[in-house]
Amino acid sequence: MIRVAFFDTKAYDRPSFERYGAEHDIRFKFLETKLTEDTVELARGSEAVCVFVNDTVNAAVIDRLYEYGVRLIALRSAGYNNVDVRAAFGKVHVVHVPAYSPYAVAEHAIALLLTSVRRIHKAYNRTRDFNFSLNGLTGFDLHGKTMGVIGTGKIGRIFIDICRGFGMKVIAYDPFPVPDGGIAYVPLEELLTSSDMISLHCPLTDGTRHMIDAAAIGKMKKGVVIVNTSRGGLIDAEALLEGLRARKVGAACLDVYEEEADIFFEDRSGHILDDELLSRLISLPNVIVTSHQAFLTEEALNNIAETTVTNILSCFEKDGLCDNELCYRCGRIERCKKERREKCF
């Protein structure tokens, strides 16, 4: 039996993981607390830990996990910017779920966009008060507009297909273009200056952190709509707020936020929100914020559990090979092991 400490557990996590765990002799210890330097002690006695996007997996946590005999960090997410992969090398293997339901995230991005530009959220609130006035609800057609997509991985490409279905012109930027993908790639600056709407679908790295900052916003069209369902750190939230206040940014649709770790996924309705910046963003009528829920579909939850369990089993088998391992050995974190076809350490 493989024992796994499962941090930051939510009610929607348990059914799929309990089912797949029971089928493969994996015992999950479900913990509501997030993994931090203060809670890492709870992993003692486990061979692996299962973590999510807001768990803290820094060098200090990794050293403690290694000391306790934990040999695997299994992310139940695609993103891994919260894990110090370099510190883990040679001590603890790290795996992730590279694709659980790209349709879920792409569809949520479109849902946010449609809600914003057609003022659906405002109409919903009005009609609940039996206010059926149309004043102030004028939107605009997506058809014929230019959508700029930053990042053309699986989610980005599905999002592009959906936009084309609306009759939109799509341009894209990605430092690693998809060959023969039929995508109109342009330099980032051209995308910023030419797009009516911009949607982010790229990972958070040192190179992409705050790629949407004051300078980038200054290059955009007046009234641009910005959609982010990837990682909050891609956008400088202070610069975004200033762009909204200056009427340079017409609307923002955010499923992620840079400082979300201690806020999202929790019910804080009975508390005063300490994050003044987020409070100010939410208070604006042209900002929609959802709490990192783009992934949250039945299909995605099932795929996350199935892939995570497969990752765990693969790592504890005799050869220990797992296609979804994140390895720092050669610097190509997601590709290294797939190309060498051997254990990283």
Catalytic center residues:
231, 260, 292
Q: Which parts of 195-317 fold into alpha helices (H)?
A: 214-219, 237-245, 276-283, 298-316
| Cα 210 to Cα 180: distance, rounded to the nearest angstrom | 30
Q: Name residues whose C-beta falls within 8 Å of residue 215's C-beta, 6 or more positions apart in sequence.
A: none
**If we measure between CA atoms, which residue out of 84, 42, 32 comes closest to residue 63?**
84
Measured over the CA atoms of residue 260, residue 264, residue 266 and residue 270, the dihedral's sign is positive
Beta strand extents in 179-275 (DSSP E only): 197-200, 224-228, 249-254
Closest CA to 47 of 319, 335, 318, 316: 316
Whole-angstrom distance, CA of residue 177 vs CA of residue 58: 31
DSSP 232: G
Exposed e or buried b for every residue in 284-306, given b needs 16+ CB within 10 A? eeebbbbbbebbbbeebbbbbbb
